[in-house]
């Protein structure tokens, strides 16, 4: 019996992951706090509010695992400050909520190139977010670092639409990856026994884990 929480369930990776969680017998309870209500939440605890903070505060039952699939772009967020709020502050708030109710393993979607010292704003914020989670001393912390995500979004991202054909041709960790493969790899990792500590899964590793599950 495993109780989980997922934030970002209305997004690309999070939507795939929520569907997989619902179909996994080991998962016996799902909390999915969101900024807008889920279309179909009959079997999920779905507190929601536009800022997410009040929704997180409503999560009170004990948890085992926390998944965080929150993420946007500076263009989509509208400003640097809004991007930091979405990709750093709300991720850290998710982690704090998980620890408050006893979760021992957190898995978060970060990004290829995440580095707190990066000259690139996006990668720097992702790296700072990772460092903040490490400082919380989770028994298990899994950082998923996918490359450009492929899949059907509710809202198209202009730059990603232009770059997607190129990223399909790149080697290794820079090759684009299907969002459903990221979700599958995160779920498999969450339910697999592993040593405690921090695990970083790069894009190639995420793809490999998902591929092995299909073989």
pLDDT at 169 over 80: no
Q: Which fold has domain 2-214?
A: Rossmann fold (3.40.50)
Instruction: Sheet with 2-7: list strands edge to edge.
Output: 27-31, 2-7, 65-68, 105-109, 140-145, 197-202
| Count helices and strands in the chain by DSSP H and E runs | 9, 8
pLDDT at 160 over 70: no
| Spatial separation of the C-alpha atoms in residues 120 and 195, rounded to whole Å | 32
Residue 159's pLDDT is: 55
pLDDT, tens digit, 9 for 90 and up, residues 55-102? 999 999 999 999 999 999 888 888 999 999 999 999 999 999 999 999
Give me the chain's average pLDDT, please.
92
How do the domains of the chain map onto residue ranges?
2-214
pLDDT, tens digit, 9 for 90 and up, residues 12-48? 999 999 999 999 999 999 999 999 999 988 899 999 9
Sorting pLDDT into bands at 50, 70 and 90, what band is 214? Answer: confident
């Amino acid at each position: 019996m495993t109780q989980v929480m997922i934030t970002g369930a209305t997004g690309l990776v999070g939507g795939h992951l929520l569907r997989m969680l619902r179909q996994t017998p080991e998962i016996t309870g799902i909390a999915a706090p969101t900024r807008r209500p889920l279309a179909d939440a009959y079997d999920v605890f779905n507190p929601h509010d536009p800022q997410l903070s009040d929704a997180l505060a409503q999560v009170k039952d004990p948890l085992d695992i926390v998944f965080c699939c929150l993420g946007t772009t500076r263009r989509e967020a509208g400003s640097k400050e809004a991007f930091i709020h979405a990709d750093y502050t709300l991720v850290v708030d998710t982690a704090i909520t998980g620890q408050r109710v006893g979760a021992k393993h957190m898995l978060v979607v970060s990004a290829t190139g995440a580095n707190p010292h990066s000259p690139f704003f996006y990668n720097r914020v992702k790296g700072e977010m990772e460092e903040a989670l490490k400082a919380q001393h989770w028994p298990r912390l899994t950082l998923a670092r996918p490359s450009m995500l492929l899949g059907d979004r509710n809202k198209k991202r202009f730059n990603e639409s232009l770059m997607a054909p190129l990223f399909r041709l790149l080697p290794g960790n820079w090759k684009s990856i299907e969002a459903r493969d990221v979700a599958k790899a995160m779920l498999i990792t969450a339910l697999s026994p592993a040593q405690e500590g921090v695990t970083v899964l790069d894009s190639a590793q995420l793809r490999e884990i998902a591929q092995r599950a299909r073989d």
